[in-house]
Structure formats: structure tokens, C-alpha cells
A and B are shown apart, each in its own frame.
Chain A
Amino acid sequence: MLARADAPALLLIAPTGAGKTLSGFLPSLAELAGAPRPGLHTLYVSPLKALAADIKRNLLAPIEELGLPIRVEDRTGDTSQSVRKRQRVDPPHVLLTTPESLALLLSYEDAPRIFEGLQRVVVDEIHALAESKRGDQLFLSLSRLDALAPCLRRVGLSATVDDPEEIACLLARNPEPCVILHADPGPPPDLSILETGRPPPWMGGAALHAIPAVLEEVKRHKTTLIFHNTRAQAEIFFHNLWLRNDDSLPIAIHHGSLSREARSRVEAAMLGGELKAIVCTGTLDLGIDWGDVDLVIQMGGPKYVKRLVQRIGRANHRADEPSKAILVPANRFEVLECVAAIESALDGDLDGTRRGPGPLDVLCQHILIRACAGPFAADALFAEVRTTGGYTDLPRETFDACLEFCATGGYALRAYDRWRRLLLRDGLWQLRDPRAAKRIRMNIGTIEDTGSLSVRLRSGSHLGEIEEYFASTLTPGDTFLIGGQVVRFEGLKEMTVEVTRRPDAQPRVGRFGGGKFPTSVVLTHRILAMLQQESWPELPRHTSDWLALQRRISRLPQAGRLLVETFHAEERWHAAFWGFAGQNAHQTLGLLLTHRMEVQGLDPLGFVATDYALLVTGLREIEDPASLLDPADLREGFETWLQGNAVMKRTFRGVALIAGLIERNLPGSRKTGRQATFSSDILYDTLVRYDPDHLLLRVTREEAQRGLVDFGRVEEMLSRIQGRIDHARAARVTPLAAPLLLERGRVPVEGRARERLLEAQAARLLEEAGLEELS
């Protein structure tokens, strides 16, 4: 690292726990060890606040030991106002921060003064940032820093990734080169599947059958991290784990919906060596170096090989020993997924990201942030933006469209010339009303906010947060899990969910949001290849028998073809489409197919989408599945009909928030909840109808294709099968499809059927209430 200290951009790739973070600071410490001049020298950016605090501890130890005159401070959302103010006046030598706090710093008018002497910026966990809009925002911020601090050198620290060049391109100031250093990858990890003594259930994700075996493993090891893919699953598992924890092993829970106090308590207990295990989610994927963790348990299929590798690295933060991880399939399909994931991890066959060009909503926010800091020339900002990896090919007209959006809303109907946000004066763009800066600053950030409500006990203590949508489905008396305890919903008070403790009650599970990722292409392809084997000696007996039975009764899905099984069961016709395209893509396919079925009079009732298959249920058999799967028809359906879909609206909300069309925290606007802010769905519908070419609709469509709608994976599947469709008409439910019938989360077909249901229920309620006489 020291030898390359003067490279303008340097990417260090090392497995988790190889001490790469401190090595990223070595050149800074060496430069500062002499007589540091006052002012900011090194900026450290990490995706986690906790990481910034942890690095501070780790950095301060050697600095104090050697008596170096170096000031190190952190600055995150948790830093107090007075400290933040002081930091702007008198910055430390080393500032540890997050992408959002950095963007906020750059929005101040004194940003040039704060950053003028900056020498180095260290981006930690850059592989994780590179996957999200937070990274796009950070890389745009780096382009701004470059303009303010001409001597700036960039260092990126990354875990092992499939394509280091891609990360290097994001890190470097384009078109400048980036040096890539590879650290010793260390010994291969010790990976296995948990032996539970009995087969996993057919469906579901809770893996409760594994609790006794998991407890045994926890007992056998010093400290265990038990990773779950969703917050809700972590809550259910934790709740049930404690019901069986006869030895009262100290086990805690940690996820993003818990209050900050609850999380810091757990982190402190962990650092103090008081815990045997933590049930956790992605919030602990990255970050704090807990030396004593000697086992990682992954509950459920890991979905992404990269995520598994990252989690494996959380165990044994010593480069010379293998990390140990145990995978726990929650159902039969996940047995395949876990075996495939272990093979991929050991082969170093990691999933790619291919994120496409930098998102425009983030660029819009960047323009607004730039405007907060003072007047700017469009040409100069455009040139800066183009030095950022994701935006090197950004056309000028697209940049101008974003600028226009920021200035006037970018509507075909030019209604806001009087109240525009930005105006051009003497060749420089600036805020029309400087007071707008405050509101823009309050909305900085790209972390998706699904609209969450705070959960409080009547006594006042804050337990965590739940999704607004979930809260809206609660009626007083309902019970749900949060932080491992069962609480009873009492009512909504302003924007707070009031609850009381109900340890005796059966919980109804909270839908907390949090990531629901589809299984990656790499993993699904491996599973497909596995299905074509003659036999399956690497699989547990229960799973290989199941596959053999499927082969005898029907057939097994193949990579280059699409297997469609139709059968009659439980008085309904079912059709299983084995697309292996991931849950989001299957859901989209389900919406498109059932819509076409309705047109063809096939009476669809609903569907279930999993990572592997789509199961459509209806009153009639699909006799010609190929007729439903014409790529041109599907594409057209996507363009026209899917516009009105809820996932599009949800994507739009995120885009509109980031781009600054709507605001996250309107001061005072949520006080009463009365005539509360209307839904962004209305804005979406209005734009679709009156301004269909609007910039944000374009951004929404592109993003939905890649994200929630995942039409990209539908396309991938269609090009993979090239019209080769195998229709298997089975006499009864097939072994492979049987679990699908048990899957929860059926999506009812929208339209008349649902409306009829509502009317029927309304009529029944009217009759029960004896209120017909009012009509």
C-alpha cells in the first residue's frame, strides 16, 4: 500500500477480515506522522455508521500509543449538531463518515474551504456500495471533491468480487487508470449443510425444524452469527429459538427495523463478549470486526453467492485460518440452492451485478445538492459528472433534462416558471429561493424509505419500526413480533404505532420490508445444471429421492427449455412454469400471463411466484402454454398494461423521493395526520395520463425493468428457452410442484373478481349490521 501511495486511484481487494481497512489508512498515517498541517487530510467513507465508529476506535489505539498528533473524528447521522458545526469550522485530520453525511457536507456553502486541503479518500466496503444508489451518490460526491481538492487520491477497499475492473472503474476519476492490488485470499472456507436429523419442510422460509441442531452448534462454538435473509424471518426464528432455549444461552437479535438503542445494546454486549449468538440480517453483513465469531450460520438459501462469501468472512477474522459456515436450507428447494451456493463459493464463481448506467434520480439529487452549495455553471458540473464511472457516457441532453427537472419540474406543461426552483442568472444556475436549501438537505440520501412508522409501548419506549403498509393492515387487538417480543396493536397515534406487551399471545408476523432479493442467475443456472445429473450423490437422500420421483412421474426442468406442468388438484387447474428466473421476474410473468388468460377466457384465479417457478391457478386448464408466452406479446403487455401496476408505483415512489419531486420529511406536515399527504400513486397515475414522456416515468420504467419488475430476467429466460416449451400434462400434482401448492403469498388476479369479493363482503356486513334500511 505504501509503495503505491501516490497512485491517483487504488483498489485493494482482500477477503473480509484481512485487516484491509487499517491498511487503507497506512499511507495517511505515514503522511500525517510528521508535522500535520491543520485541516482535513483523509476522508473515510463506509456504508455503515457503526463501521465509522468502530474504525475510529481501531485507529485511535495506534495513534495514541505512538503519540501521533493526529485528530480522528466521525461524522454520521448520529453526530450531535454542535459537534457537526465545530467540524465544519475546524475539521479533524481524519474524518470518518457515510455517503449521506458526505453529500450533506458538500451541500454547504463552505464546502470548498472544508475540503481544499484534502489529500486522500478511503472508500470502505466499496463492493457493497457499488451495488446500490448509495454508491452512485458517493461516486458523484467524489467527482465534486476532485473539483475542490485537486491533489485528491482515492483508495477503495473491497471484498472479493467477480469483476474487480468494474469496481475500479467506479472508483477512479475517469478516464484515469486505477491500480488494483490483490491480497492473499487465505485458506478456503469450511462450508457444510446443517445435519438436522430430519428433512426440511416442503415450503416456507422459517427453518424452525433446525432449531435444536442450531442450538447445539451455538453451544459448541464460542460465538455464532445466525444470518437470515429477511427481518420477518429473523423475528420468527428468534422468537421460536427462545421458546426452545432451555439452557438460556445468551442470544440476541439485530436487524435494521430495531431502534438504534436496541441495536447498540446488542453491539456493546457482543463487543463485551457477553453473547453466544446473534440472530441477524444483512445489517451485520458488513462491518465491525468481532474477533470471537468462530461460526456463521446461514438460514435459508443465500440467494447470492457473493452475499454468502461476505457472510462466511464474518467468521474468524484471521487471515490464516479457514472461516467456518453452516448453511441451513429452510425447504427442499433450498437444499439444492445451498449445495449450489457452496460449490459456487468454493469455485470462486461469483454472481455479477451489471447495474447499467448511473441512475438519473441520483443525478437529479446531486444537481440539487450542488445548487445548495452555491451558483454553478452547467458545463462545469456536466464535465465533473462525466468523470464518474457510472456517468461517463451520459449524453448532454440527458444531463440537461435532469437540470430542467430540478429547475422547473420538467413538465410538458410549463406551469412553474414563476415558482421554479433553480434559475439561470449571469450564466450560473442557482436556487431561486435560498431557503429551499434547507428542505433539499433534509431529503439527501438514496436509501429506500418504504414509509415506516415508529413502534412504541404505551409507556413510551421505542421498540423499532414497521412498514407503513403493514401498519395499515393492523386493527386494534392484532399481535405481531418485534425485537423478539409479541406486542398487541392498540392504535395509531399521530405517526406512531402504539402497542402493549403480550407475551402470551400468538403473533401475526410483521412485514418489515427489508430486502427480498431473487436468487441470482449464477445460482439458478447451477441448480438447473444439477437437475440434469444422472444421480445426486451430493444431495441428502430425501432430496435426491424427491428429484428421482419427479423424473419418473413428469420430467426435470432444463436450462435451454421451459417446462410447463399442468394438473388438476383441489378442484382447481394449476400450471407450473419452471422459469428459474427469480421471484420478481416470476411475479411479473404471473401478472402478464394471468392478464392474457383473462383475455382468453381461461378464468385465472391467482398465482404464486417463487425463485424457481410460477404457479398459476384457474378454473380451466391451460391447453397451449406456448400461446401465452409469445415474447412480443409479453413485451407489449409490459409496455401497456403493466404501467398501472403496483410495483411500478412503488418504484416511482423511490425515484420521486430521490429526485426530489416529493419529500421525505416535510417539517410539520405530519403533525396531525389530518388530510395527510396524498399518495405518490396519484402523482404516478396523473403523470402517466398527462405527461407520459416525463423524465421520472422514463427513470421508473428503466429501473422497474431491472428491479422489482425484473423484466430483464424475463427476457433472459425467453432468450434462454427460444420458444422451446415442454408441456407436461400430469394426472395429478407433480413432486416438484407439490411444494408450490403450499406456498403462501398468493397474488389474487386484479379486476372484476376482486371487486366482486369486496361487494359481497360489504353486502354481508350490511346485512349483519341490519343497516339495509339506510339504503
Chain B
Amino acid sequence: MNGDAFSFTLNGTHALALPSGALLVPSENLICISDLHLAKSERMARRRGVMLPPYETRATLDRLAQDIAAAQPTTVVALGDSFDDIQASEALDAQDRATLARLQEGRRWVWIQGNHDGGAHDHGGEGCEEFRAASLTFRHIAEPKASRGEVSGHYHPKYGPPGLGDRRPCFLLDASRLILPAYGIYTGGLDAREPVLRDLFADRALAVLTGTRAIPIPLPAARRRSRSA
């Protein structure tokens, strides 16, 4: 699996961007995933009356189970927006609950709070707003003035260079910070070139595309122009 990953160093800590969209920090034996948005279909049905195929929790957990089986981490950090909202966290069916509990067995499990899933839920593990490991700080939303080594999620970045097919979920990376792609199945994305996202990074920054292999590709420079509304 790691042969298909992208290896890099952030603030002195070696890490791997896995093709699935998970981050592996070997020195800490830690896996980090962001924006699972579990039970999104339940929330869509509840809030908007749309009944999407209710299998995204299963599909997302199946994917996570594969990463965990391969890496055998001692710590899993869920980087926020793990549930589509706090009510959705109660809507997991018995099978999905059992799967999640099995994944948590025998390892530390950290739920970082996101903007979607504020509040307490009953899915084990520990909750917090920020988490530190090695030289890295894990939080849900990137802070523009964060010190080096910030790992965050929230934006669901996507990128595809022009002419090379569809945009894919991607990691975004420069010497100072890393933003993870959304790991959940039913998640849209924000183009990495959008100023709100692009401006968080230095001119020299990388997108690491997910897929069958993690593929690094430079991000085009920020378009620094003020646009009249």
C-alpha cells in the first residue's frame, strides 16, 4: 500500500498521504482521516426530504477498515465533521455501529470536533478541539496564522490539472501546513484553486491527488486579484 502513497515531511515529521485520502504518521503509528460525514443520507432525508442510497456510512467505514487493517495504527484521529450532524450520529444502524466499534477496539480514537458535529455523541473514543502528535497540530479548520505543522480538513479540496480528467479529492500541502481531502463517500469538493483555499498556501504548494495511487502535482499560483462583486 505504501508504495502507492506520497511520502513527505511536514515540520520535521515524516508522513504518508495514502491514495485513499488518509494520512499516515509512521513515527506515531497514527492514522488521520477527515470529514467522514457519516450518516449524511439520514440528515439529507431529515432536512431536505431527499432519500439518497443509505449506504455511504457503510461504504466509508469499509474504506476506513481497509486502511486500518493495512496500517494497524495505535491511534486514529478523526479530524472533524465525522458525522454529518450530531443527530446523524444517533442514526447509524446496528451494523454500522458494530463496524465502528470494532475499528475502535484496542486503539486510541480521537474525535476532533468539526463545524458539523459539535456536541457529544456516544461512539466511544475521546473528543477534543485540537490534538498534538510529534510536531503536528491537528484541528478541523485551518487557521490562517497557524504555526508550522498544522493538519486540518474542512474544505474538501479537489483538484485535477486541466486536460487530465476529472477533479479528484486531494491533499494540499506546503512547507507549513497540510489540508486533508474529505474521506466520506458522499462529499462534494471545493476546487483547490478557489482563493479561500488557495490563499492559505504559499505560492509553491502541492496537490496530492487520491485514487489508485497518490499523485503529487504542483498547484497553480494563486490568482491574486481583487474581484469586484
Contacts and interface: CB of A to CB of B under 8 A. Distances in A.
Interface in B173-221: 173-175, 185-190, 194, 196, 204, 206, 209, 211-213, 215-218
A758 interface: yes
B71 interface: no
Main secondary structure of the interface of A (DSSP, over half): loop
B108 interface: no
Interface in A401-432: 408-409, 411, 413, 415-416, 418-421
A762 interface: yes
Nearest to B206: A774
B59 A676 contact: no
B52 interface: yes
Given A411-B53, A419-B51, A774-B174, A762 B189 contact: no
A515 B11 CA distance: 54
Contact of A758 (B6, B48, B204, B215): B215
A419 B188 contact: no
Contacts of A769: 204, 218
Contacts of B41: 415
Interface stretch (A306-314, A585-593, A689-697): A689-697
B218 A771 contact: yes
A719 interface: no
B218 A765 contact: yes
A419 B52 contact: no
Main secondary structure of the interface of B (DSSP, over half): loop
B49 A421 contact: yes
A110 interface: no
Interface residues of A, number: 50
A690 B58 contact: yes
Contacts of B93: 413, 415
A473 B49 CA distance: 33
Contacts of B119: none
A593 B58 CA distance: 34
A353 interface: no
A416 B48 CA distance: 13
Contacts, number: 130
Contacts of A416: 45, 51, 54
A266 B190 CA distance: 39
A380 interface: no
B160 to A, nearest CB: 8
A675 interface: yes
B51 A421 contact: yes
Contacts of A475: 162
Most buried by A among B54, B59, B162: B54
Contacts of A683: 52-53, 186
Given A433-B49, A675-B156, A678-B186, A774 B55 contact: no
A775 B189 CA distance: 24
A676 B188 CA distance: 5
Given A439-B49, A493-B227, A775-B206, 5 more contacts: A415-B45, A420-B51, A690-B53, A769-B218, A774-B204
12 contacts: A416-B45, A416-B51, A419-B51, A435-B49, A493-B227, A675-B187, A758-B165, A762-B161, A762-B215, A771-B218, A774-B174, A774-B206
